[in-house]
Amino acid sequence: MQPLPLTGYTVFEIGQNVAAPFAAQILGDLGAHVIKVEKPAGDDARHWGPPDWEGAAAMFQTLNRNKVSQTCDFRNPAQVNALRIQLLEEADAVIQNFRPGVLESLGLDEASLRADKPELVYCDMGAFGRGGPLSALPGYDPLMQAYGGLMSVTGEPGSMPVRTGYSVIDCGAGMWAAIGVLASLLQREHHGNGARVEVSLFETALGWMQVAGAQYMASGESPGRHGSGAASIVPYRAYAARDGHIVIAAGNDGLFRRLCEALDHPEWTEDPAFIGNPLRVLHRDRLDSLIQEQIGRHDRAHWLDVLRAAQVPCAPVQDTAEAFTCEQAQALGVVQPVPGSSMKLMGLPLRLDGQRPAIRRAPPALQPVQSKEEDCREHLG
């Protein structure tokens, strides 16, 4: 088997919570040697339970595989200096999400390190990004879902603002960070110099809102909430069957025709209010009501059979247990065993030459701070 693409690269993660650990884990899954630098008490996410799982919160465990851990007391100048030397000697890339100014005061910022090692790739992950009146403020995923507009388009019409169920901004920022680091490492192969990669939670939130932003800039009106539906496509939402919900996505006239025939109402295609998607959007309430009446007559399994036979895109609304144990997830092998552990975790959601990169190392246990002679040395997980 060929080595993983990032075999031979060393990445230091000086961060905690979700965004930076997720970014570093992606690189670790792709073969990089990832050293997670933690404060003596450890990453806060270690304690974000219940549920706990083999010594740490399940959230921590799923964000920190394929890494080794070392502790560093950032209030101890000797330990900070030892870490700086280690970075200059070993690091190909650094990913950090400390508050603005913290690492600058310690000489661990991009400018200080790249002055001595210009080939270093250094990724700053911030809340609001460098520049602007909010740059110094802290940020967390729900704050950015609010500030970036995501909450304004999530949920049912007229409802209270809600966030997406999990940290899509944190994980999205982690993905952008990993992409930026990969691009910079590739650039270094060609030109020799490293780079400063800048990623922020706020920019990530705006990135997820790019369609809503385009719709606003085109019309002058802010899109609102449409529940499980979409602002500009109808029918394209969840409907209640007898035993649960099913999402139907009839995104063009041909699919709408097939849907109407599958629902035994081909005459809907001739209704002047439903001819073409723009009219269906204008008359969404009436059309959704007609479709709901039909879907409510049978259970999900019936409609999945009928709609799939008619080649109408559809899916049951599955809970977590259903999603991870369904036949498709099993066939793809997305859940992987963790070496030296009874845990199983979601693997990297991509395959290289047909193979999903395997989990090579369990998430690292937090080691106690060692003696001064051993400060900031690597602890194997």
pLDDT higher than 90, residue 378: no
Domain identity same for 80 and 43: yes
Question: Whole-number mean pLDDT of the chain?
Answer: 94
Domain identity same for 274 and 339: no
pLDDT higher than 90, residue 110: yes
Residue 336 lies in a domain: yes
pLDDT at 352: 94
Domain identity same for 307 and 337: no
**Residue 264 annotated among the catalytic residues of the structure:** no
Each residue's pLDDT tens digit, 43-55: 999 999 999 999 9
Average pLDDT of the residues in 19-33:
98
pLDDT at 138: 86
Among 43, 170, 288, 375, the active-site one is 170
Domain identity same for 307 and 346: no
Domain identity same for 200 and 250: no
Domain identity same for 41 and 154: yes
Contacts of 285 (CB under 8 A, 6+ apart): none
Domain identity same for 76 and 104: yes
Q: Are 205 and 150 in contact (CB under 8 A)?
A: yes
Domain identity same for 255 and 123: no
Domain identity same for 21 and 64: yes
Each residue's pLDDT tens digit, 247-290: 999 999 999 999 999 999 999 999 999 999 999 999 999 999 99
Domain identity same for 180 and 294: no
- Structurally, how many domains does the chain consist of? 2
Domain identity same for 183 and 46: yes
CATH number for position 264: 3.30.1540.10
Residue 175 lies in a domain: yes
Average pLDDT of the residues in 118-132:
95
| Closest of 82, 81, 72, 79 to residue 41, by C-alpha | 72
Domain identity same for 118 and 69: yes
Give the confidence band of 244 by pLDDT, cuts at 50, 70, 90: very high
Each residue's pLDDT tens digit, 347-375: 999 999 999 999 999 999 987 655 444 55
Each residue's pLDDT tens digit, 135-174: 988 889 999 999 999 999 999 999 999 999 899 999 999 9
pLDDT at 367: 74
Domain that holds residue 306: 236-316
Our CA angle for 271, 273, 275, nearest 5°, is 70
pLDDT higher than 50, residue 379: no
Strand partners, 52: 57
| Closest of 68, 61, 70, 31 to residue 338, by C-alpha | 61
Indicate the pTM of the whole model.
0.91
pLDDT at 226: 92
pLDDT higher than 90, residue 101: no
Residue 265 lies in a domain: yes
pLDDT at 377: 53
- Helix axes of 253-262 and 300-309: crossing angle, nearest 10 degrees: 130
pLDDT higher than 70, residue 380: no
| Closest of 365, 338, 336 to residue 348, by C-alpha | 336
pLDDT higher than 80, residue 345: yes
Residue 2 lies in a domain: no
Each residue's pLDDT tens digit, 319-328: 999 999 999 9
